[in-house]
Amino acid sequence: MTPEEIFSTMQNLIAEQFALDPSEITQASSFTDDLGADSVDLVELVMAMEEEFDLDEIQEDDLAQLKTVGDCVKFLAAKLNQ
């Protein structure tokens, strides 16, 4: 899966989760600052990501590094292309 495909999928997941238009979501969007996510939103998003991308549970250490949509795309690209 290419980074572009991952980003497109993430846009749709985030849009659905946070009731936004996908076009409002960019790679630079910060989950907390730009998208208004709280800790519950982020937990739900992580569970949706794990399900959508068929991943094992994402570790706390990894989650702490994921501040923007672009961070998630890079993380997922690395995980999926191992």
Name the catalytic one among 38, 54, 56, 61.
38
Yes or no: say if 34 and 41 are a contact pair by the CB < 8 Å rule: no
Q: Is 38 a catalytic residue?
A: yes
Question: What does the chain come to in residues?
Answer: 82
Give 37's contacts (C-beta < 8 A, 6+ positions apart).
18, 31, 45
Q: Give the residue numbers marked as catalytic.
A: 38
